Structure 1
């Protein structure tokens, strides 16, 4: 009879599984975003003193602030694009500047210019209004291409080069630009290279019926005047930098990275698109998803974060074919089709 105590060789695969190293993320300490959510909730409350509704728009704006990205706001006149940008800037205790783009605006009016000093017989650079931490560019698509191109370097590299000298921007540096739809009279189409430098392009829509009634009721009661002084600053530059460092600690699983790459990669082969998104779009989607997850109090990114941000990240980075444009298609429709066609990781 066989000895019951006879040693039996274990299953090699079981040994391999038992000895396999556990992913480092399994032991990584969880990041507490309680302070971040409390401060961003305070920003929402301050802006809510004046703005009625637009909660999703505000969430996307805060996501961009945490992700260190620029934002393009598009909507018809009168839907509070400029007001929303000004209020957001006011909640940040940093230098603020506003530039009104017009057809006769020159690059030097934005970036600055060198002025000759007779007493020293040399040139002195005088910074333009772009040298601020939060820059509101109002009606950005009313300036010609020459002025638009002046923003390429400063938006991407955070520096302005003048007469061979590079002048770095202070941190943080955030551009909030507003534009009317290109069908409006007196507007120019923004170059693709400039559009690609915006983290998000956000559509500012009309208020709902209930929200518009609330706006009218407040105005009728004498509460309609917008006193920006009522909005208090919440975050300093140091506070914002600390929150951004927290966002960088987010956990992102490999299947989420692959999902982002598949979404962006599909825009390059989709039959309805003439131009697909570049790797910069993949980075924007990743950074945005990390910030959104933190904003919602999580220390990990989910596929739902990626799906929520995909239209805002991709709509200005892809171009429809002429045939699809003639059919009345939109970039958002194509993005939705791509998301429906790609398996969601679980």
Structure 2
């Protein structure tokens, strides 16, 4: 089949090709940045990756069921493929994504398409890919000092390092990163985490950029074990999906045309550096409504709690266990009175870091912006959070929760497990919300500042905080949300107590 006929068929519906194979996208999506992002998404989904798995679902949905109980959801709103959309959001948020899946699933192709969308040339992209292998040295990855300088220099400052050009690229691709030797992984970690690399007292800076790392699996199946600090710097996980044989004719067309998708990327969906910067800034400006933020906090805040971690109230969290070399599975037993089938704390071996909190909010903003919204909806968070937490939360397989019929299967799919945990949290939010609202009111009063507040008022407020703590500890079960609120209240109590002490020591003083 002729190239022209193939391109015309491949791009029908959302684009057209003229007799010279110049591709023209339709204008139906408008001209704003998020419209251009959507055009890029749909072109990749329908023409490049060919991914019919629309697993990011929005809006109410009907369900079709098999006799065995398997469900197929049919959402009323537009749904998207995580394998295409999450890399795209990574590009515009300048974050770091790990693409995992078997060989030949399109992981590297997806990363290359993201680089091409950023305006990089094909040759530049392919030369810049760093391919992991057991002999990859730090010099191979970063560069090396010039031999002539090494011979002539009297001190290190006179040695010029020839840095690898990929370091300054807007999109960085590390293929099979789990085949990189441990020492070289440490050098990669410095570049990813700190944004610069150092050699011979010389420095090179990565600049604002998006990272795409690939691995054939996420369970340590590479040549080398990935160091924990490097895994922690990965912001989001993207799972490759198998090819659907119903689109076999599309593969035949590609073969006969002898064209790869990256060769046909329309210029209309390639972003300039200025557009990338504007998109980045616009995403940060997306609002997170207070009620949405409170629900997000309600879910994330209780994951770190462990009632059996310590007799000291402030240290009833999973970091205490980790520092002691213990696991949640070892202490989460009948001695803890909490219902293991209800409370989220039993399902995870760890909680999430501040970095993860920020990453989730960033991606939720990006999701909302991509959908053309000015504010984050709770569903934006619900859809993106499992992919951010995929490598950050470790399940506790010995939890009684997983012994319930049908729950054991959740251990095989972390996205389904994490989304189920979020839904469980939201089902209990309304019950706890009245108490949390009281905590919020007290916090808002304190946030107005203590300047000019007298001792009598200070002691009155401190008493209000103490009364609410007593109510929580005497009338509520000590669960993750209650623990979060009590710690929050104690921090307010301490601030008021310290201020009252200062007022007593400085009568008539002003702070």
Q: TM-score, normalised by structure 1?
A: 0.80
Provide the residue aligned with 1:249 in structure 2. 285
Q: Does 1:107 align with 2:138?
A: yes
Q: What's the counterpart of residue 80 of structure 1?
A: 106
2:39 is aligned to 42
Aligned-pair Cα RMSD in Å: 2.8
CA 1:185–1:60 in 2, change beyond 3 Å: closer, same or farther?
A: closer
Mean CA deviation greater in 157-166 or 69-78: 157-166
Provide closer, same or farther for how the CA distance between residues 164 and 332 of structure 1 changes in structure 2, counting only shifts above 3 A. Answer: same
* CA distance in structure 1 between the aligned counterparts of 2:182 and 2:347, rounded to whole angstroms: 27
Match of 1:192 in 2: 228
Alignment partner of 1:86: what SS?
Answer: helix
Q: Is the 8 A contact 2:89 2:367 kept in 1?
A: yes
2-structure distance, mates of 1:67, 1:136: 16
- CA distance in 2: counterparts of 1:284 and 1:273, whole angstroms: 19
Larger RCO: 1 or 2 (CA < 8 Å, sep 6+): 1
- SS of the equivalent of 1:61 reads helix
Return closer, same or farther for 1:186/1:297 CA change in 2, 3 Å cut-off.
Answer: closer
1:300 is displaced (CA, Å) by 0.4
Q: Where does residue 9 of structure 1 map in the other structure? A: none
Q: Structure 1, residues 175-195: CA drift from partner, whole Å, max 9, x if none?
A: 111100156865334223212
Gaps of 5+ in 1: 1-32
**Residue 341 of structure 1, CA deviation:** 1.7
Task: Please give the secondary structure, in 1, of the residue aligned with 2:98.
Answer: strand
- Aligned residue in 2 for 1:309: 384
Deviation readout 1:33-65 (Å, 9 max, x if unpaired): 961122213323553443212643211112122
- The residue aligned with 2:184 is 147
Once residues 208 and 79 of structure 1 are traced to their aligned partners in structure 2, the CA distance between those partners, rounded to angstroms, is 11
Structure showing greater radius of gyration is 2
| 1:119-268 map, 5 Å | 122-128=158-164, 129-171=166-208, 173-181=209-217, 186-211=222-247, 213-219=248-254, 222-223=256-257, 225-226=259-260, 228-233=262-267, 234-268=270-304
Alpha carbons of structure 1 residues 304 and 334: separation in structure 2 relative to 1, 3 Å: same
CA distances 1:302-338 after superposition (whole Å, capped 9, x unpaired): 0000000011000111123364699772433441332
**By how many angstroms is 1:219 displaced?**
4.5
Whole-angstrom distance in 2 between the partners of 1:252 and 1:71 = 23
The question of 1:68 aligning with 2:94 is answered yes
Query: Which deviates more, 305-314 or 258-267?
Result: 258-267
3-state SS of the aligned residue for 2:178? helix
CA deviations on 1:207-228 (whole Å, 9 max, x unpaired) are 23423x34444356x1464153
Q: Is the 8 A contact 2:187 2:197 kept in 1?
A: no
Query: Would you say the 8 A contact 1:92–1:236 is kept in 2?
Result: yes
Cα gap change, 1:102/1:69 in structure 2, threshold over 3 Å: closer, same or farther? same
8 Å CA contact 2:91, 2:114 repeated in 1? no
Contact 2:83 2:241 in 1 (8 A): no
1:52 — aligned with what? 50
Q: How many residues align?
A: 311
Helix, strand or coil at the partner of 1:261 = helix
The 1:214/1:187 distance shift into structure 2, 3 A limit, reads farther
Query: Structure 1's 71 and 184: CA in aligned 2 closer, same or farther, altered over 3 A?
Result: closer
| 1:283 maps to 2:358 | yes
Q: Secondary structure of 1:130's match?
A: helix
Which of 336, 342, 346 is 2:425 aligned to?
342
Aligned to 1:296: 371
Secondary structure, in 3 states, of the residue corresponding to 2:167?
coil
Contact 1:101-1:140 at 8 Å conserved across structures: yes
**Contact 1:77/1:180, CA 8 A, preserved across alignment:** yes
Q: Secondary structure at the match of 1:316?
A: coil
Deviates more, 1:263-272 or 1:71-80: 263-272
Which is helix-richer, 1 or 2?
A: 2
* 1:187 to 1:261, Cα distance in 2 relative to 1, 3 A: farther
Q: Greater share of strand residues, 1 or 2? A: 1
